[in-house]
Structure 1
Amino acid sequence: MLIPVEEHLARILNTVHELTPTRTALDHALGCVLATDIRSRVSLPGFDNSAMDGYAVYSSDVADASSQAPVQLPVEGDIAAGDTTHHRLRAGRTFRIMTGAPVPIGADAIVPVEQTDAGVKSVSIYEGVPHGRHVRPQGEDVGEGTIVLRRGTRLSARHIALAAAVGHGELSVIPTPRVVVISTGDELITPGQVPGFGQVVDSNGPMIAAVARELDVVASRVGGVADDEETVLRTLRAQLGRADAIITTGGVSMGAYDAVKAVLTRLGTVQFDRVAMQPGKPQGFGTIGEHNTPVFTLPGNPVSALVSFHAFVAPALRLMAGRPAFESAPLEAQAAQAWPSPSGKLQFARVALEHDSDGLKARSAGGQGSHVLGSLAEADGFALVPPHITRVEIGDRLLVMPLGSAATSRRGGADWYGRAWCGTEVSE
C-alpha cells in the first residue's frame, strides 16, 4: 500500500526536535540560530565621538563665522581615534579631532576640516555649525540593556558583528546538526577509481553530504559499507556517538540483500514505507540509540536519493537546527512541453528553467529515470506534478522546487509543498 508524501513527512517532522542549545564562540556561530535574546552590555557608541575629521568647538564660538569674517581659534592639541584621555575644552578654543575620536568635555559640535584653513596651531573657521552637528552621542545607536538580537535569529556576519560590538564573545545557539551519510552496497567503489564489471562508483555519498552542507549542517560520510547485516550494524553503532542524524542510501527496497532494511527493522522505531511519489517510492525513517537519533533511509538510485533528501530530510534538519522546516519559496512556471506523469503519485520531474516574454518556463531536463544522472546535473529544479495529473500539457502551471542557484527567494515557515500534494491551485 502506498502512503501519501505528506503523511511520511508529517511523521518525520513530528518526531525530530530542536537540538539542545549550547554556548559557542562567535567564530563558530555563523549560520546557527540564537537560543536566547541578546542584550547589549554597553552603549553604542560608548562615548560621544566625532563623525568628521575637523575641529571640536563650542557652537556659540563660531556662530557668526563666514568666509568674509572667519573666526580664529587657538588649537589646544590633537585628539585621535583611540585617545583615552578625558580632554576638556575651554570656551574660545578648539581641539583638532579625527573621525571616531572622543569629543572633549564642553564641546558641542564639530567643524569639518573642509570649512577651515586646516590650521595646526590656530585655525580659521569659515562657516559656523549648530549645536550637536557632526557629534555622535553616546547610546545613539544602541542603549545599554537593549535587546539587539531576538531568539530565533539565524546568525549572519552582520549579526555576529553586532554581538561582538555590544560585548558578547560567545552566544547560546541551537547547534548545527551533525549528519553522517552512509553508503551501502557491495558494488560500490571510491570516487576516483575506475569501476570494473558490476562495480559502481559511490556518487550518492558525496552528493548527499554536499547537499546537506548546502543547508549549513556539518556532514561526513562513510562509504563502501558491505551488504552484510553485521557490517551495517557495526557501522551504525560506531556512528551514533558522532551524529545528530544518520542518512543511509541503498538497501531499503524489496531485494534479498537489503541489509540496511534487515538491520534497522530490528532497531528502535524505524519504519519502512512505500510512498506515493516518483522517483523515491521506498522510504524509511525512525530513531535508534539511547539518544533517539533520527535515521533516514533513502533509495539507492541517485535521483531518488536526492529527491528524497529535499522532500523529507532537509525540512527535518532545518527543524533540528531551530529553523523553519520550509525556507525556499516555490517558483511558478509554465510547462514548455508535455510529458506523462504517473497516476496516484506526486511526480518530481527534473526540469530546466528559462525566461521568455511570457515569464518562467519549465521543460524536461532529459531522461526521467531514477538512475539518470546526466539530466539531474542539467536540472534547475523539480516540477511537482500532483497525483491526480497523468499528463502535463504545454502551458500548464507548475510549482517548481528550485535547486542550487535557482533557490534564491525566501519565505520561511511556509509549507508550500502541500499545495502541490493536494493538487490545489498554484496562485493563492
Structure 2
Amino acid sequence: MEDDENVRGVGFKEFTRLSAALKEWLKACCVKVGSERVKVDEAVNRFSFTEVVSPVDIPPFNRSAVDGYAVRGEDLQDASPLNPIGLKVKGMVPVEGPANLEVNAGEAVEVTTGSPIPRGADAVIMLEQVKRVGDEAQVSSTVKPFENIILKGEDYSVGEVVLRRGIRITPIEVGVLKVMGFEEVEVACKPRVAIGATGGEVVGSVKDVQGFQVVDFNRPTLIALLKEVGGEPVDIGILGDEVEHISKKIQEALDWCDLVVLTGGASVGLRDVTVAAVKTLKDSRLIAHGLNIRPGMPTGLWTVRGKPVATLPGHPAAAVMSFLNLVKPMMYHLMDAVWEEPFQVQATLTRRIASPPGVRSYVRVQVKRSGGELKAEPVMVHGASMISSLAKANGVLEVPEDVEGYEAGDRVKVTLIKPVTRGRVGNEENL
C-alpha cells in the first residue's frame, strides 16, 4: 500500500481482501484481556475463561422417568395382555423420597416421575400398562432392564465437561452451573474499547445543530453494538478534525483501553484526517487501508503499541458493516472467545441486485414471511450514508467477490441482524 500522503485526494490504488486484512490484524494484536470471577447469576452473555467440569453426578440417584410402578423385570418375563401378572403393591415412594422400601420377588412400589428408585427394582412399568385391583398391580407387558429409569449420572457425570473455554454463557448454562453448586465462574474480562467520532460537522445531539452540522449516528450505535458483543465501551467523544487533537485523544485512550475505534475521516480525501492522526503516533503500524468490501472500502486497520486501532468510514452503513466484519471478530480475539456463527436463513430474492467484480458486497435486505416462505426484499436506498437502510433492514445478503449479483427469484442465504417478525402475539394468523 502506498504511503497515505501520496494518495490523499487521489483515491485508493489497490484494495486488500477482507479475509487477509482481518487475519493480519488479529495476528498483529498483542493484547489479551485476562479474566475475573463473577457470580453465576450475573454471568449471562459473558465468555467462560476456563473449562468447567461437573463435581457431581446428575441425577445423584436412579430416578423414575414416568409415573408407574418400580418392578423387577424378571417377574414380568411372561406377562402379556392374555396373561397379566399380579404384583403386590407394598407402598409408594414420592418424588421427594425417601426410597426406604425394597422390591422383592412378586412385589411393586408405586412411583411418580422423578421418584428415587427403591432397592431391588430394575425397571419402571408405566401407569397406563397396569390395572390396579386393591393392593395388587396387574401388569400385561414385559419390561427391559432399566426401562423408564434415568440412571445416576446419566445427565452429567463427575468430571464431565459442562462448559468449554471461550463459550458464551447463556441462561441455560447459568441453570446448569447452579444445579451443580457453583456460585461463581471465571469469565473473560470485558474489553475496554474507546469509541470516538471525527469531523467538524458532527455534533452530539439535535439541540447542538447549527447550520449544516449533522447529529452523530455512529458513536451511539457502535457503543450499543459493543455492549451487545460483550465489551465495555468508553466514549471519548467527538474529536473534531484537527490532526494533533485526534492524535492526542488516541494516545490517551491507548493508555487505558484495549482497542480504539474511530469513525469518520477514514478515506483518502483532503479532509480525511483520522488516518493522518494515527500515522503520527509512535509505534503505529498500518495493517490495511482500503478493503475490497462495499460498504466499508475506506476502513483502516492498525496496531499502535501492539494494541488494535480501527478507523471506520463515517457513512453509517459502512461503519456498521465494518464493525460487524472486523471489530466484532477482534473483540472475540481479545477475549479468547469461540467465534459464534451468525444466524442465517434461506430466502427468495424479490429483486435483482448487482455487485462489481472483485468486490464483496453487503446488501441490506428486509426478510419477510410471505405465502409460507421467507422473501428477501433489498432495501433500495442510495449510498452508505442513509441510516434508513439500517433501520429498515433485518438482514444482510453477502455477495462474494466472484459473483456479480443475483437475479430475482434466486434462493439466497441471508444473515439476520434483527429478528424476522410476523405481527403481534395473539393475532390468530401469527399463532
TM-score by structure 1 length? 0.71
Alignment partner for residue 348 of structure 1, among 341, 355, 361? 361
Matched, 1:26 2:36: no
% same residue = 25
Counterpart of 2:59 (choices 41, 45, 63) is: 45
What's the offset of the Cα at 1:223?
3.7
Matched letter for residue 110 of structure 2: R
- 2:7 corresponds to which residue? none
Check if 1:97 corresponds to 2:108: no
Q: Distance in 1 between matches of 2:413 and 2:104?
A: 69
Q: 3-state SS of the aligned residue for 2:28?
A: coil
- Per-residue deviation at 1:52? 2.0
Q: Give 2:301's aligned residue.
A: 285
Change (3 A) 1:393 1:81: closer
Counterpart in 2 of 1:265? Answer: 280
User: SS in structure 2 opposite 1:11?
Assistant: helix
Q: How big is each residue's C-alpha offset from its partner over 1:77-114, in whole Å with a ceiling of 9 and x where there is no partner?
A: x3222325654445555433222121122222333333
**1:275 alignment counterpart:** 290
Quote the offset at 1:137 in angstroms.
2.3
Separation in 1 of the partners of 2:316 and 2:24?
24
What residue number does 2:16 align with? 5
Counterpart in the other structure of 2:97: 83
CA deviations over 1:62-89 (Å, ceiling 9, x no partner): 666677866252534x322232565444
> Does the CA contact (< 8 Å) of 1:268 and 1:286 recur in 2?
no
Contact 2:396 2:416 in 1 (8 A): yes
Mapping of residues 219-234 of structure 1, within 5 Å? 219=233, 221-227=235-241, 232=246
What's the offset of the Cα at 1:250? 2.0
Q: Distance in 2 between matches of 1:88 and 1:360?
A: 58
Q: Which moved more, 1:59-68 or 1:370-379?
A: 59-68
Query: In the alignment, which of 197, 204, 209 is matched to residue 218 of structure 2?
Result: 204
Q: Is the 8 A contact 2:350 2:376 kept in 1?
A: yes
- Could you tell which deviates more after superposition, 324-333 or 224-233? 324-333
Secondary structure at the aligned position of 2:311 is classed as: strand
Unaligned runs of 5+ in 2: 3-12, 421-431
**Contact kept in structure 1, 2:94 and 2:111, CA below 8 Å:** yes
Partner AA of 2:15 in structure 1:
P
Q: 1:75 to 1:220 in 2, by over 3 A?
A: farther
Counterpart code for 1:350: V
Pairwise CA distance, 1:153: 4.4
Cα pair distance change 1:374/1:261, threshold 3 Å: same
Per-residue deviation at 1:336? 4.5
Greater shift, 368-377 or 152-161, is seen at 152-161
Q: Indicate the residue corresponding to 2:154 in structure 1.
A: 140
Distance 2:355 2:80 in 1: 81
Q: Tell me the distance in 2 between the aligned counterparts of 1:303 and 1:66.
A: 70
1:232 and 1:403, CA in 2 relative to 1: closer, same or farther beyond 3 A?
farther
Structural mapping, 1:96-245, within 5 Å = 96-116=110-130, 122-127=135-140, 129-130=142-143, 131-151=145-165, 153-166=167-180, 168-191=182-205, 193=207, 195-219=209-233, 221-227=235-241, 232=246, 235-236=249-250, 239-240=253-254, 243-245=257-259
Distance 1:262 1:65, change over 3 A: closer
Contact 1:335 1:398 in 2 (8 A): no
Cα drift, residue 177 of structure 1: 3.6
**Aligned residue runs from structure 1 range 329-344, under 5 A:** 336-337=351-352, 341=356
Q: 2:90 corresponds to which letter in structure 1?
A: V
Quote the Cα distance in structure 1 between the aligned partners of 2:365 and 2:65: 51
Report how many aligned residue pairs link the two structures: 398
2:124 partner letter: I
Q: Distance in 1 between matches of 2:108 and 2:291?
A: 79
Offset, 1:305: 1.5
Q: Per-residue deviation at 1:216?
A: 4.8
Structure 1 residue 241: Cα displacement:
6.7
Given that residues 32 and 154 in structure 1 are in contact (C-alpha distance below 8 angstroms), is that contact kept between their aligned partners in structure 2? Answer: yes
Give the SS at the match of 2:195.
strand
| Alpha-carbon shift at residue 271 of structure 1 (Å) | 3.3
In 2, distance between residues paired with 1:40 and 1:11?
38
Q: Which moved more, 1:2-11 or 1:230-239?
A: 230-239
Q: Deviations over 1:150-199 (max 9, x none)?
A: 44544444455444545544444444544342223443333564733222
Aligned counterpart in structure 1 of residue 388 of structure 2, from 358, 367, 374 = 374
Q: Determine if contact 1:287/1:293 at 8 Å carries over to the other structure.
A: yes
Corresponding letter in the other structure for 1:346? V
CA deviation vs aligned residue, 1:218-259 (integer Å, no higher than 9, x gap): 545444344456764665466557643221112444545836
Cα distance, 1:204 vs structure 2: 0.6
- Structure-2 residue corresponding to 1:73: 88
> 1:14 is paired with a residue of what secondary structure?
helix
Provide closer, same or farther for how the CA distance between residues 216 and 235 of structure 1 changes in structure 2, counting only shifts above 3 A: same
Rounded to whole Å, the distance in 2 between the matches of 1:396 and 1:385 is 18
Aligned-pair CA distance for 1:138:
1.9
Q: What pairs with 1:354-365 in structure 2 (closer than 5 Å)? A: 365=379
The one-character-per-residue Cα deviations of 1:21-51 (angstroms, maximum 9, x if unpaired) are 5544433444455444443322232211112
Give secondary structure in 2 for the equivalent of 1:83. coil
Task: Give unpaired runs (5+ residues) of structure 1.
Answer: 408-428
Q: Judging changes above 3 Å, is the alpha-carbon distance between structure 1 residues 146 and 252 closer, same or farther for their aligned structure 2 residues?
A: closer
The RMSD of aligned alpha carbons is: 4.6
Counterpart amino acid of residue 286 in structure 1: W
Q: Distance in 1 between matches of 2:333 and 2:65?
A: 44
